[in-house]
Amino acid sequence: MADRDQLTEENRLLKQQKANLEAEVNQLRRMIYGAKRERFIPVDDQQLSVFDDEDFVPVDEDKEHVSYERRKPKSDKKAKRLLLPAELPRQEEVIIPEEVDPDKAEHIGDKVTEVLEYEPARFYVRRIVRPVFKLSETQLSYAELPALPIPSGNAGASVLASLLVSKFIDHQPFYRQVQSFKRSGIKIAESTITGWFRKSCELLEPLYAVLQEQVKASDYLQADETPIPVQSSNKPGSTQKGYHWVYHAPKTGLVLFDYCKSRGREGPEELLKDFQGCLQTDGYAAYEQIGKRAGITHLVCMAHIRRKFEQALDNDQALATYFLEQVQTLYALEREATEQGLSPEARQKLRQARALPIMQTLKGWLTERAAEVLPKSGLGKAVGYALRHWEQMMHYAEGGHWQIDNNLVENKIRPVALGRKNYLFAGSHEAAQQAAMIYSFFGTCKAHEVEPYQWLKQTLESIPEYPVNQLQELLPIKK
């Protein structure tokens, strides 16, 4: 009897191990060969499958299949020309037929064709001339030099703004920009450009501090983190992993990147030590202690919970599909509220009436499944993750201005992911923090639909002499 029980237990463990390995192999295959999108399309039971023998319909051999070709009818639709922006400058070119004398023929109209053209970026030298006047034998007079972003350098605000936009929005490392400058006949050492970047960041530090305070003053923040390789000073040629902690205030559209040397909770704990309100995160443990503090409502992300079940489709399609269909219903309610333009109060009532019952039903379903599935299987991990965070997830129905997921802050991280593929690493911890500052400003620009180059150029021109107590006026926020 003991041998039988032992064999039964070994068989159970082997099955569990097999399921775990199959889930890992499926995940690896998907990472290498599969699509990255997580779109879920429910299976239609009425649709026939070409891979199911029971649903296969044999061809009637007494019938002959006849095919033929026919001319495709001509479409009346014509290709539409690109609509060119009205604000672009126009250079007019008039073409008169050779056989026509404009002085003798009557001009009754014009046929106008607009073609988009391009001129490469043009460098020019701003030459500031200050005449010197002799007022007396001992007194001379000349105008004060206008404020420059780098008083000891010869880089104007337009060049500095272009450098930063090209690197942090267009993802062109400085060495590539150096090569581009050479094609225009401008030879600038990469070390010089790096120095200009550092000086620009020093100039923007007070404004970054203002942005930081305004983000922390919000009563609703979304948070996430992303790694950035940083060149090691101890071991030349190697890098260590640092982290950008990213905070987004959905109500104000402000974005804050804060660089830390590790992924430990010390970074967010320090930045959020005085925060009060709703904090929305993924399930990373570093946020747990912060979420338990008095005055903080910890809301998690439905997209992260949903992702676990989407990955578990290969493990148990029926159960994973049920959960995903219920989540689709919740997102359909959010789309409905957005399309109707509901106020936060009306959205909250909609969630309480229709979303909360679904969430409560799913909580019971998850509890039942937890007792049935193998804990280390794909579905078991998804169920366990969802149950651990379900109470925190249900908070979203309590406030109409809270989001169902953390996707807004994750979108703010995308430029960093693209940048890493191009500039590969930050040269130092200081450079990583400076990059966090620029990503903060440009992320806020994008959220407020502010053109980043013009904003940065104007800010670098005005900030040297701007009153410190009015710096918030320079933030890239639409007034």
Domain ranges in the chain? 205-299+415-479, 302-405
Query: What pLDDT score was predicted for residue 33?
Result: 62
Mean pLDDT of 115-121: 79
Cβ–Cβ < 8 Å for 440, 214: no
Helices 407-423, 429-447: crossing angle, 10 deg rounding:
130
Q: What is the CATH number of domain 205-299+415-479?
A: 3.30.420
> Residues 412-452: pLDDT tens digits?
998 888 888 888 788 888 989 999 999 999 999 999 999 99
Mean pLDDT of 294-313: 92
Which stretches of 99-148 are DSSP H helices? none
* CA gap 150, 158 in Å, rounded: 12
Mean pLDDT of 385-410: 92
Query: Cα dihedral sign for 322, 323, 329, 335?
Result: negative
Q: What count of other Cβ atoms lies within 10 Å of the Cβ of residue 127?
A: 5
Cβ–Cβ < 8 Å for 264, 390: no
> Residues 69-105: pLDDT tens digits?
656 666 556 656 678 888 888 889 888 888 888 888 8
* CA gap 181, 179 in Å, rounded: 5
Residue with tokens 């809270």: 402
Residue spans of beta strands (DSSP E) within 166-238: 220-231
Cβ–Cβ < 8 Å for 107, 94: no
* CA gap 229, 220 in Å, rounded: 30
Range of weakest confidence among 198-207, 227-236, 309-318? 227-236
Question: Higher pLDDT residue, 76 or 261?
Answer: 261
Cβ–Cβ < 8 Å for 463, 207: yes
* CA gap 74, 72 in Å, rounded: 6
Question: Higher pLDDT residue, 112 or 233?
Answer: 112
For residue 315, give the DSSP letter.
Answer: T
Share of the chain above pLDDT 70, in %: 87
* CA gap 144, 140 in Å, rounded: 13
